[in-house]
Amino acid sequence: MGNSLGKKFVIASFGESHGKCIGIVIDGCPAGLPITEKDIQIELDKRKPLQIIWSTTRTEADKVDILSGFFNGYTTGAPICLAVWNNDIDAGDYKKTKGLLRPGHADHTAFIKYGGYNDYRGGGRFSGRITAGYVMAGAVAQKLLKLIGVTVLAHTVEISGIKTDAGIVKISAEAIDNNPLKCTDPPAAEKMLSVIEQARKAGDSLGGIIEGIALNVPAGLGEPVFDTMEGDLAKALFAIPAVRGVEFGAGFTAAKMKGSENNDSFSIKRGKIVTVTNNSGGILGGISNGRPIIVRVAVKPTPSISRKQKTVNIDKMESAGLEIKGRHDVCIVPRAVPVVSAMMAITLCDYALQAKIIPEVIK
């Protein structure tokens, strides 16, 4: 249960890390959207393991296969099933450590919930690989949002406490894609790479913060009191493994501000009402106000570390030591960046379809 999301642009996830494939079904994509496998592949490639030493060396070809909902170069209005086939499956490592609960992973809770029947290989459904499905759906959502001029971006703003300088950062899709850490403040990125390298040597891992930005989102989207834009974005973002917090606009900082500081005052600009500041992150009362949507997510350090950890062998119900050998990212943050933008795009696309800002047939 719980593997589908959305109301009008509904995504249903399936597949396991070491099963036959990772897939996603999109129900509700309008007919008439010109799309190619390349459009999707470009996004998929962004979450590939980095070609630098501190990332997993698993070769994930991750070639998208469009299984349905597509005809003569256009979407048909029918459900679109997208899959990547798992080729480089080496489950040998996992068998050896079967029963050993990896701290920070879902091994324990999955065992309880599914009575031990879950596919534990590589974390199964709880693997970061599942997000390949999110990214494929996000690629379709991005194409739809482009039709109404909405741009969704995400970038790394902090790794292990090293923050980007908002004064320096110049956010653009190009700048983000060109940096291996998806960080648009080069000096900060240098420092981040350096702490990552230290952590790698220490057999440890690091977390960070990703900021998502949606530009040109029409005012009026969001359905309070429960289907607020914050609530729906947060729910979508917490579906990314490792996300531990979500904040909008001034976020937790707002808790320290005075009303006179935090309130965004209104003014008229070219005949339109705008807020002078954007502490609200583009959302008031759960509804978009036309200003950029700003969200930040806290990503915990990768739980897989090569350092020895204390744990329990659940098969034998005894204490055990664990050294995770496999192929793991020291810092998952950069690879999570395209997933953050994917989940934002999926949610905003759902909203835009509900509001019929994107029509059901593209002409």
Please list every residue from 159 through 218 that binds its own copies, using CB under 8 A: 160-161, 199, 204-209
Task: Please return the burial class of 22, using the count of CB atoms within 10 Å of its CB with bins 0-12, 13-18 and 19+.
Answer: buried
- Alpha-carbon distances of 333 from 142, 156, 192, 199, 241, rounded to whole Å: 21, 7, 11, 14, 11
Binding-site size for its own copies (CB under 8 A) equals: 146
Considering only residues 28 through 47, tell me which ones interact with its own copies, judged by CB under 8 A: 28, 31-32
For position 337 contacting its own copies by CB under 8 A, the verdict is no
CB of residue 178 to its own copies, shortest distance in Å: 24
Whether 343 contacts 139, CB under 8 Å: no
Considering only residues 240 through 299, tell me which ones interact with its own copies, judged by CB under 8 A: 241, 243-268, 271, 273, 275-276, 280-281, 283-289, 298-299
Query: Which window, 137-145, 153-161, 174-182, 334-342, contacts its own copies (CB under 8 A)?
Result: 153-161
Give the closest residue to 304 by CA, choosing from 331, 277, 269, 282.
331
User: Could you please report the per-residue DSSP string of 14-74?
Assistant: EE-TTSSEEEEEEE-PPBT-B--HHHHHHHHHHTSPPSSTTS--------EEE-SSEETTE
| Alpha-carbon dihedral sign for residues 168, 172, 175, 179 | positive
DSSP secondary structure letter of residue 8: S
> Is the Cβ of residue 283 or residue 348 nearer to its own copies in the bound state?
283
Q: Give the pair of three-digit tokens for residue 151.
A: 């741009």
> Is the Cβ of residue 44 or residue 332 nearer to its own copies in the bound state?
332
Query: Which window, 5-13, 36-44, 140-148, 182-190, contacts its own copies (CB under 8 A)?
Result: 5-13
| Alpha-carbon dihedral sign for residues 64, 65, 71, 72 | positive
CB of residue 132 to its own copies, shortest distance in Å: 12
Query: Which window, 35-43, 44-52, 141-149, 233-241, contacts its own copies (CB under 8 A)?
Result: 233-241
CB of residue 174 to its own copies, shortest distance in Å: 26
CB of residue 363 to its own copies, shortest distance in Å: 7
Binding its own copies (rule: CB under 8 A), the pick from 48, 63, 300, 327 is 300
One-letter amino acid of 299: V
Torsions phi, psi of 203, nearest 5? 65, 30
Binding its own copies (rule: CB under 8 A), the pick from 301, 337, 342, 344 is 301
Considering only residues 102 through 131, tell me which ones interact with its own copies, judged by CB under 8 A: 103-106, 108-110, 112-115, 117-119, 124-126, 130
